[in-house]
Each structure stands twice: as C-alpha cells, then as structure tokens.
C-alpha cells in the first residue's frame, strides 16, 4: 500500500510538472508564429493628403494591401458614412480590393466610378457596390487624421464615426 501511494504521488507530481511545461512550450511555439515587431510597426502607413489632385486616384500601400485615396472635385457628392472631410476637401479612403474575390478595381476618371476587370463588378466613387457580384461596398481601413496627414492602421474619431454609420 505504502509503495502504491508513493508511486501514485510521484506519477501525479510528474504529470503536473509535464502539463505546466507542455502548456508553456505550446505558448512559446505559438508566439514564434506571431507577427514580428518589425512587421507590427510596418503596420502603420502615413500619407500626406495636401499634395493630392482631385479626381485622380492615389494608391497607398498599407499592410500589403492597396489603399484607394480619392480627393473629390466640387461636383462629386460626399456619401454619409463613406466620405471623410479633411480641411476643405472630401476624400474616399478605402481598401482597394474587390469584395467579391479580392481583385483590384480600376478607377475611371470619366465615369467617376470603379470597375473590377475580374468579374465585372462596379463601385461608385465612394466605394458602394453598384453592379455585379461584389456582395458589399469596399472595406474601410482603420485610419486617423493628423492635420493633413492620413495615418493608416490607427482608429481615429473620424473612422469611428464612419463605422458607426455604416
């Protein structure tokens, strides 16, 4: 009996130590696959909006994705929840990947809309899907307005207001 319970105790103690070690090493292994600090810090992109031309699409790169920045002319109408005002001008800021299968739509300066060459989807200048297979408007990237600088990757009050309306 004495021997049995001793063996049982040793077994349980070993099991407990092994379990703690196992969980700790799993956590360490999980963390080796987390994005590296350099990848995390590259997760913010700054764009100066002051030099942009109206009705000409600017494409910035943020986290490997194309970001459409479109400055509106006088006759382009802002859309509530999709257009942001910086200074005196309105802008569309959105992720330039078709919500159908992730192709990059092209901007038509004449018609003032976007068409996707892959499966024929269309979006208005504010990125609202207007024709074809795309199931929803172009996604909005989290952004913050800092003077005339657009900071992509950080959630500012303008972004939160837009998300609340969307």
Site of interaction with another protein (CB under 8 A): 30, 33-36, 39, 43, 59, 61, 63-66, 101-104, 117-120, 133, 135
Nearer to another protein, 104 or 128 (CB): 104
Q: In the structure encoding, which two tokens stand for residue 14, read together?
A: 């070993």
For residue 67, the minimal CB distance to another protein (Å) is: 11
For residue 103, the minimal CB distance to another protein (Å) is: 4
Nearer to another protein, 103 or 128 (CB): 103
For residue 153, the minimal CB distance to another protein (Å) is: 9
Q: What share of the chain is helix, strand, coil (3-state, %, to 5)?
A: 25, 30, 45
C-alpha separations of 122 from 75, 81, 83, 85, 116 in Å: 20, 19, 18, 24, 6
Nearer to another protein, 5 or 32 (CB): 32
The dihedral formed by the CA atoms of 128, 80, 86 and 140, expressed in degrees to the nearest 10: -40
């Amino acid at each position: 009996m004495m021997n049995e319970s001793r063996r049982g105790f040793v077994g349980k103690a070993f099991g407990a130590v092994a379990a703690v070690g196992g969980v700790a090493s799993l956590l360490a292994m999980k963390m080796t696959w987390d994005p590296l600090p350099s990848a995390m810090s590259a997760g913010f992109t700054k764009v100066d909006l002051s030099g942009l031309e109206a009705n000409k699409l600017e494409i910035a790169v943020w986290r490997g994705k194309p970001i459409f920045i479109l400055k509106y002319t006088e006759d382009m109408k802002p859309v509530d929840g999709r257009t942001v005002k910086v200074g005196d001008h309105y802008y569309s800021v959105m992720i330039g990947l078709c919500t159908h299968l992730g192709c990059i739509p092209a901007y038509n300066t004449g018609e003032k809309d976007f068409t996707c060459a892959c499966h024929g989807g269309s979006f208005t200048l504010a990125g609202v899907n207007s024709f074809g297979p795309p199931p929803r408007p172009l996604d909005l990237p989290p952004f913050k307005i800092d003077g005339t600088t657009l900071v992509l990757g950080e959630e500012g009050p303008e972004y939160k207001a837009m998300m609340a309306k969307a």
